[in-house]
């Protein structure tokens, strides 16, 4: 009673192939790791922080004010053929909201936002402008050193890759994001 033994090389290749397919599938559809290359989200995110970005929830629910999102910036910001890197910012304005930045305060629908997470009050004036349908206004937490919606406009929903949910590096700052 002998069972047919599979060649170990074929078995190894099948295991590696399945692992690659699963890894690519998870990264494409479920979650991926990202790192922070700039100080535009300080103090919430520091340069070289590593994050997990989940990609599933926005298929069922729209982004909410306060979410930290990773997205593809508008193509118009980059010369033809130049590689675009994803940006990370905080959602401030939702579709239909009227947003204004004046006297160091962000107002959404004429109500001042409580922004305990920002590095310093914004030193610029912007708006008022209404956020178009299916688009979002995003700002960096380091308002005065962030290349964000106040400089180039709104982010279409289909440009949003996912929501940053947890920091996994450095270990001293491990945890969820608010």
Task: Identify whether 40 is a catalytic site residue.
Answer: yes
Domain 33-176, architecture per CATH: Ribbon (2.10)
Give the tens place of pLDDT for each residue, 108-149: 999 999 999 999 999 999 989 999 999 999 999 999 999 999
Q: Which of 40, 55, 146, 149 is catalytic?
A: 40
Please state, as a whole number, how many other Cβ atoms lie within 10 Å of the Cβ of residue 16. Answer: 10
At residue 166, does pLDDT exceed 80? yes
Give the tens place of pLDDT for each residue, 2-45: 456 777 777 766 667 666 655 555 555 556 888 888 999 999 99
Task: Identify whether 82 is a catalytic site residue.
Answer: no
pLDDT for res 162: 93
Give the tens place of pLDDT for each residue, 65-110: 999 999 988 877 776 666 668 899 999 999 999 999 999 999 999 9
Q: How far apart are CA 136 and CA 149, in angstroms?
A: 9
């Amino acid at each position: 009673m002998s069972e047919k033994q599979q060649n170990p090389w074929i078995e190894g290749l099948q295991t590696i192939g399945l692992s690659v397919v699963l890894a690519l599938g998870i990264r494409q559809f479920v979650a991926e790791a990202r790192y922070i290359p700039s100080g535009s989200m300080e103090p919430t995110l520091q340069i070289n922080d590593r994050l997990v970005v989940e990609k599933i929830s926005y298929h069922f629910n729209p982004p909410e004010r306060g979410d930290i999102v990773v997205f593809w910036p508008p193509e118009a910001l980059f010369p033809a053929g130049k590689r675009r890197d994803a940006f990370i910012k905080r959602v401030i304005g939702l579709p239909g909201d009227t947003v204004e930045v004046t006297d160091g305060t962000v107002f959404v629908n004429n109500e001042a936002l409580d922004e305990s997470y920002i590095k310093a009050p914004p030193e610029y004036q912007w708006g008022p402008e209404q956020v178009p349908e299916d688009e979002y206004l995003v700002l960096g937490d380091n308002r005065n050193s962030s290349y964000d919606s106040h400089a180039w406009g709104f982010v279409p929903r289909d440009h949003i890759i996912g929501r940053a949910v947890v920091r996994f590096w450095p270990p001293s700052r491990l945890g969820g994001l608010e």
